[in-house]
Structure formats: structure tokens, C-alpha cells
């Protein structure tokens, strides 16, 4: 455990540049490893989760090398040519690494065992076991479809048409990655759109992938078709900054009086940008400067000003586009005027921790007024007054986003917040504390 007390702070001022997007970093290493030849990546997130992906791809035959900060070179083996790993693949804390790599292994003639830390070992893998079994892969897992888990890939695997039962980009991506080495056309139907980095990058690497929008019973649905036995061509990839990391600074600058912060290099893919729209609807001033396209993704610099926020009812349809931002969004709600209501957030219970109960407990300790419902939180804000709690230690539960969200809460509190363990922050945002110190007065 590495505890730290996050003190009440003056304004957040100056500028920062957020590190590379975690989702895109994972995918650039995985697809690079499946393309024959040299893929060059800049701006790669060097967080522990991405390093777990890099180590796994090395164990399956790819050359994955770091040349400089964020500059990586991947020499791939080609679709269909992954090697049998000689030892269990240690996924650490990373759900994305585990679920996407289970998809890759599922259609190769290899067997791989996945292990992870205490948090990852509690997370449900049945949601990927189910479609990948239909494609022909075989699984042995701990009870309830949990890690440790062994996948025996099918060769050839069978193409399926799969309608996602949960709004999960990881499940969608696992099926699409399995489809790469599966003869014929695999179809994934998405009733609710989730982040589309896999689709964008698969196309960029030359896969035959098409996306059709159709009218579903409850609105537009996306039908994604991928032709298998794909040949991927190596790419040069610039990874845009991670909006999920920027979120902590966006909320910090909005709630701490006197703040004006420039956050450079923020990815604004619409399947990820839900938080910004909701905070604007609450009265937050977030200006976009220098809009551009980086690595096939929309990016801008964000200038964020301290703003009085008003409570809001968050449309549950927005959840997938801000799914990882809810912990810090709850902090914004705790400082807003009036009531904020969230619902439809069952998925938050199966992240690195149960993020609904972890944030309800942590914010209550910090002095916020929070009611935990089955699928969301209701929060009565302080109308800008600092949180009046005891400062007593809040439990992170091996969850980086709880640690960072409560660090921001501490800065907007009377007595600060003691975070029981800051180590998990390194999974997604190793320079978080350094950047925070640089911009707080």
C-alpha cells in the first residue's frame, strides 16, 4: 500500500499534456503484432496495463521494443502465426488486455493461460467466453468464468453473428479480433454504440471491415462485419491523448475556484466524449482549441475554467461514452448545486472495483451526500463549498480511477482526503501525481 493525503488546493493553472489513450495503445500493440513488418507507434501510454499487453504479445512471438519515451516499434508475426506462450500470461490489473487477447488466442492453434491481480481475478470473463466458445474455442476457468483461465484456440474457428448482450467495447473487440483469423464473415451487432477504436484501427491496418447503421427496436444499431483470414499491413500510429485521463483535470479545474487550465492533446472521439457534454450542460466552461485529427481520431486542446455547476439527470444512453469517467463525474456532482441523478450504470459494478459502492463510500467519508441505488448514485451537491468530511482514509480497492477521483475530491475539500493506496494509478496514468503538482497553486 502507498497511502497519500491529497490536500485542499488553490487554483489549477497552467497547462498539461495528457499521455496516450489506453484503449488505442493496447490495440496498436496487438494489431502491430499481427501485421508482418514494422509498426511504429508514438505517444504510446506506458502504463502498467499496456505493458501487460506488450509482454503478452512478446510471449506470443512478436518483437515489441521501446525506442524512446512513448516511441515503440512492433514487428508482427502475421494473422494466424501467433506462437504458443511458454508461461501463463500475467494481465496484471487490465481487463482490456485480458478480454481482447482471449479473442486473439481463440482463433489460433495455441493454448494460453491468463492470470491477474486480485481485482482482475474477480471480474467476469463469461461475457467473452460465451461468443468465443461459439466460434469453437475451449475454456477452463475458475468458478464463475473468472481468472485464472485457459483458452484453447480453434483452428479453423467458426464465424458467428453475435448480438452484444452488454454494451461492452471489450466484448465487441474480442469477437472482432477472433474474427481476424476466422474464415468467412463474422458479424457483431451493437444495440448501443461503444468506443469504436477497434473498428477504426482494423480498417487502418487494411482489414475488410464495414459498419452499417440499421433501425433497431430502441433506436439505431450498428452492424459490424469483418472478413476473416485478413492480411494486416504495418502502420505508423500516433496515439492521441486519453480523454479518460484528461477527465480528472477537467473536473478539478471546473470545481476549484480561480482555475484556468489548458489540457493539450485530448482525444474527442464521440464514443468517448460524453463527459464533456454533460459537464457543459451543468454549466461548465470547456473551450476547444486547435481541433485536429491525430491517428485517425479527433483531438483538441481544452481550456477549462472554474465554473459553478448545477446538478443534472444524466441520460443513461450516454453511459458508454463516459463509462470510465463516472468516478470523477461523481466528484463534480458532489460540488454542484442541487441534485445529480445517474442510472443504468450496472456495468460500473464490474470494473476494477464496484465503482458505485466504492465511490458512494469514499464520497460519503469525504462529506458528500450520496445515495447508492442498484444502478446509479444520487448526489446532493455542496453548491461549490469544499467537502466537509473527516479526511479519513478512503478505500481504493486496487482501482486507479477511485484513487485519482478521490485525489481531486481532496483538493476541493476542507481537510483533504487520505487515499489508502496510490499504486494502482500507474496502471493507466503514471504521471498523474507529477502533473497535478505542476498545476496546483
Angle between helices 274-281 and 243-255 (to 10 degrees): 20
Closest CA to 66 of 94, 40, 37, 36: 40
Rounded-to-integer distance, Cα 200 and Cα 10, Å: 41
- Rule CB under 6 A: which of 81-100 touch ligand S3P? 96
Shortest CB 314 distance to ligand S3P, Å: 17
- The C-alpha cell that represents 141 in the structure block: 476457468
Rounded-to-integer distance, Cα 431 and Cα 425, Å: 9
428 binds ligand PEP (CB under 6 A): yes
DSSP state of 47: S
Q: Which residues pair with 379 in a beta bridge?
A: 340, 370
Shortest CB 119 distance to ligand PEP, Å: 8
x/- letters, 39..78, toward ligand S3P (CB under 6 A): ----------------------------------------
- Rule CB under 6 A: which of 346-365 touch ligand PEP? 351-352
DSSP state of 240: P
- Rule CB under 6 A: which of 73-132 touch ligand PEP? 94-96
Q: Do the Cβ atoms of 415 and 437 come closer than 8 Å? A: no
401 binds ligand PEP (CB under 6 A): yes
Binding-site size for ligand PEP (CB under 6 A) equals 9
127 vs 222, beta carbon nearer ligand PEP = 127
Which strand (E) or helix (H) includes residue 320? none
Q: Do the Cβ atoms of 260 and 16 come closer than 8 Å? A: no
23 binds ligand S3P (CB under 6 A): yes
Residues annotated in a binding site for phosphoenolpyruvate: 22, 95, 123, 170, 355, 401
Residues annotated in a binding site for 3-phosphoshikimate: 22-23, 27, 168, 170, 324, 351
Rounded-to-integer distance, Cα 404 and Cα 424, Å: 9
- Rule CB under 6 A: which of 145-204 touch ligand S3P? 168-170, 173, 195
9 vs 246, beta carbon nearer ligand PEP = 246
Contact with ligand S3P (CB under 6 A) among 31, 323, 407, 435: 323
170 vs 342, beta carbon nearer ligand S3P = 170
Rounded-to-integer distance, Cα 297 and Cα 197, Å: 9
Q: Counting runs of H as helices and runs of E as strands, what totals does the chain give?
A: 12, 21
Catalytic residue from among 21, 324, 354, 399: 324
Q: Do the Cβ atoms of 150 and 113 come closer than 8 Å? A: yes
79 vs 359, beta carbon nearer ligand PEP = 359
137 binds ligand S3P (CB under 6 A): no
Shortest CB 194 distance to ligand S3P, Å: 6
- The C-alpha cell that represents 157 in the structure block: 474457428
Residue nearest to ligand PEP (CB): 95
Where do the DSSP E strands lie in 53-167? 63-68, 71-76, 89-90, 111-115, 138-142, 146-152, 161-163
The one of ligand S3P, ligand PEP, none whose footprint includes residue 420, by CB under 5 to 8 A per kind, is none
Q: What is the Cα gyration radius of the chain? A: 21
Shortest CB 255 distance to ligand PEP, Å: 21
The one of ligand PEP, ligand S3P, none whose footprint includes residue 428, by CB under 5 to 8 A per kind, is ligand PEP
Contact with ligand PEP (CB under 6 A) among 242, 324, 418, 420: 324
x/- letters, 328..347, toward ligand S3P (CB under 6 A): -------------------x
Shortest CB 78 distance to ligand PEP, Å: 26
Rounded-to-integer distance, Cα 425 and Cα 71, Å: 21
Known catalytic membership, residue 354: no
Q: DSSP letter string over 183-217? A: SSEEEEEESS----HHHHHHHHTT--EEEEEEEET
404 vs 412, beta carbon nearer ligand S3P = 404
137 vs 247, beta carbon nearer ligand S3P = 247
Rounded-to-integer distance, Cα 357 and Cα 377, Å: 9
Residues annotated in a binding site: 22-23, 27, 95, 123, 168, 170, 324, 351, 355, 401
Q: DSSP letter string over 412-428? A: TBSS-EEES--GGGGGT
What are the phi and psi torsion angles at 290 (to 5°)? Answer: 55, 50
Residues forming the active site: 324
Q: Which positions touch ligand PEP (CB under 6 A)?
A: 49, 94-96, 324, 351-352, 401, 428
Note the residues at the interface with ligand S3P (CB under 6 A).
23, 96, 168-170, 173, 195, 323-324, 347
Amino acid at each position: 500500500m502507498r497511502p497519500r493525503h491529497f490536500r485542499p488546493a488553490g487554483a489549477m493553472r497552467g497547462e498539461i499534456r495528457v499521455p496516450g489513450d489506453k484503449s488505442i495503445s493496447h490495440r496498436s500493440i496487438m494489431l502491430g503484432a499481427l501485421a508482418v513488418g514494422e509498426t511504429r507507434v508514438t505517444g504510446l501510454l506506458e502504463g502498467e496495463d499496456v505493458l501487460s499487453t506488450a509482454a503478452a504479445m512478446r510471449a506470443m512471438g512478436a518483437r515489441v521494443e521501446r525506442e524512446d519515451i512513448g516511441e515503440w516499434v512492433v514487428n508482427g508475426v502475421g494473422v494466424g502465426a501467433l506462437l504458443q506462450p511458454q508461461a501463463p500470461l500475467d494481465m496484471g490489473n487490465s481487463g482490456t488486455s485480458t478480454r481482447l487477447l482471449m479473442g486473439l488466442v481463440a482463433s489460433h492453434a495455441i493454448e494460453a493461460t491468463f492470470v491477474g491481480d486480485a481485482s482482475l481475478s474477480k471480474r467476469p470473463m463469461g461475457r467473452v467466453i460465451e461468443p468465443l466458445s461459439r466460434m469453437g474455442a475451449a475454456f477452463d476457468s475458475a468458478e464463475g468464468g473468472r481468472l485464472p483461465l485457459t483458452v484453447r484456440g480453434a483452428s479453423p474457428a467458426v464465424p458467428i453473428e453475435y448480438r452484444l448482450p452488454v454494451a461492452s467495447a471489450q466484448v465487441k473487440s474480442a469477437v472482432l479480433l477472433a474474427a481476424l483469423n476466422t474464415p468467412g464473415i463474422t458479424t457483431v451487432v451493437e444495440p448501443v454504440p461503444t468506443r469504436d477504436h477497434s473498428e477504426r484501427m482494423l480498417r487502418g491496418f487494411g482489414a475488410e471491415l464495414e459498419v452499417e447503421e440499421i433501425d433497431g427496436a430502441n433506436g439505431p444499431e450498428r452492424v459490424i462485419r469483418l472478413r476473416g483470414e485478413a492480411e494486416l499491413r504495418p502502420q505508423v500510429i500516433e496515439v492521441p491523448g486519453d480523454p479518460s485521463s484528461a477527465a480528472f483535470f477537467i473536473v478539478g479545474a471546473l470545481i476549484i475556484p480561480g482555475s484556468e487550465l489548458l489540457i493539450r492533446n485530448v482525444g474527442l472521439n464521440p464514443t468517448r466524449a460524453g463527459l464533456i457534454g454533460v459537464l457543459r450542460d451543468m454549466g461548465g466552461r470547456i473551450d476547444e482549441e486547435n481541433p485536429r485529427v491525430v491517428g485517425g481520431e479527433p483531438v483538441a486542446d481544452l481550456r477549462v475554467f472554474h465554473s459553478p455547476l448545477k446538478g443534472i439527470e444524466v441520460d443513461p444512453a450516454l453511459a458508454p461514452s463516459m463509462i470510465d469517467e463516472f468516478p470523477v463525474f461523481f466528484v463534480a456532482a458532489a460540488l454542484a448545486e442541487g441534485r445529480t441523478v445517474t442510472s443504468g450504470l450496472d456495468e460500473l459494478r464490474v470494473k476494477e472495483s464496484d465503482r458505485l459502492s466504492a465511490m458512494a463510500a469514499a464520497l460519503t467519508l469525504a462529506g458528500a451526500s450520496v445515495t447508492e441505488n442498484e444502478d446509479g448514485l444520487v448526489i446532493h451537491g455542496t453548491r461549490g463549498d469544499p467537502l466537509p468530511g473527516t479526511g479519513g482514509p478512503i478505500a481504493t480497492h486496487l482501482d486507479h480511477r477511485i484513487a485519482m477521483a478521490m485525489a481531486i475530491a481532496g483538493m476541493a475539500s476542507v481537510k483533504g482526503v487520505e487515499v489508502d493506496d496510490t499504486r494502482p494509478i500507474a496502471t493507466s496514468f503514471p504521471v498523474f501525481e507529477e502533473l497535478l503538482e505542476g498545476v496546483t497553486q
